[in-house]
Amino acid sequence: MIKRTICFVFVLFFSLIFQAPAFADDNFDVAYDVTYRFSDNHNALVTQTVTLTNKTTNLFATQYQGSIYGTVVGEINGFDSTGPISVESEKTNDKETIITASLKEKTVGQGSFSSFSVNYTLSGLVSQNGRINEIAIPRPSKNQPVLGYKVTVIVPQSMGSVGFVKPKVKYQQTGSSYVFSFSTPQSLQGILVGIGTVAHYSFDITYHLSNHSYR
């Protein structure tokens, strides 16, 4: 089994109402609902829905920034309840891509919340280990607290039979796909799914026994 480190971290930028921008710390609760939909070519279309809940009375979020490590990111766009939002990406090195989303909906007031989604493609999440395709799903950085983290992984059955799922969860077969669902705290451990060709053999064994009696 190949061990790989694939994770993301997030940063929020916020503004004081009618004042200059500042940098966010623990002023917002952040919850994720992320879907990974894999194709036959092993690329994944990711829909990452983020819900922000304001914990303050005088701040609102203006930007969301997430860093994805260890994979190739492409085809990035975003939207909220009002329509498309501006999303930019920057590749800082061979292992990190920074995604920045400008937020149109303002979460003004304590307890107010808003949601937005960022779509992108990922390649490099699937590795071959013999006849098994190992799918490694990115996890949040341990230094980034999240209120909730739900992950859904959808894999075409054409990739083979399910060999293992870590952490272990029940899965569904919907149409021509396998659907795996993970929630907090399981989803924070890192997810690994093995799918491929498993051979089963049936055979008979014939024993020739000799019984020697000694007097």
CATH number of the CATH domain containing 90: 2.60.40.1730
Q: How confident is the model at residue 198 (pLDDT cuts 50, 70, 90)?
A: low
User: Does 2 reside within a domain?
Assistant: no
Q: Is the dihedral of CA 7, 124, 194, 119 positive or negative?
A: positive
> In this structure, is residue 80 part of a structural domain?
yes
Given the structure tokens 């089963």, which residue do they identify? Answer: 200
pTM: 0.79
- Asked whether the predicted pLDDT for residue 14 surpasses 50, the reply is no
Is 167 part of any domain?
Answer: yes
> Is 185 within a domain?
yes
Per the listing, tokens 């020697």 go with 212
Distance CA 137, CA 4 (A): 10
Q: What's the rounded Cα separation, in Å, for the pair 193 and 58?
A: 44
Q: Tens digits of per-residue pLDDT, 117-154? A: 999 998 888 888 888 899 988 777 766 667 888 999 99
> Does pLDDT of 86 surpass 80?
yes
> Does a structural domain hold residue 65?
yes
Q: Is residue 204 pLDDT above 70, yes or no?
A: no
Q: How confident is the model at residue 96 (pLDDT cuts 50, 70, 90)?
A: confident
109 assigned to some structural domain? yes
The total domain count for the chain is 1
Token code pair at residue 180: 């795996």
- 203 located within any domain: no
95: pLDDT strictly greater than 90: no
Please, what is the average pLDDT of the chain?
78
Residue type for position 29: D
Query: How many residues does the structure list for the chain?
Result: 215
The reported pLDDT for the residue numbered 84 is: 94
Decide if 83 contacts 37 (C-beta within 8 A): no
In a domain, 202, yes or no: no
Q: Taking Cα atoms as reference points, which of 117, 151, 147, 120 lies closest to residue 136?
A: 151
pLDDT at position 78: 93
Domain ranges, residue 91: 7-196
User: Which pLDDT score, from 0 to 100, does residue 2 have?
Assistant: 42
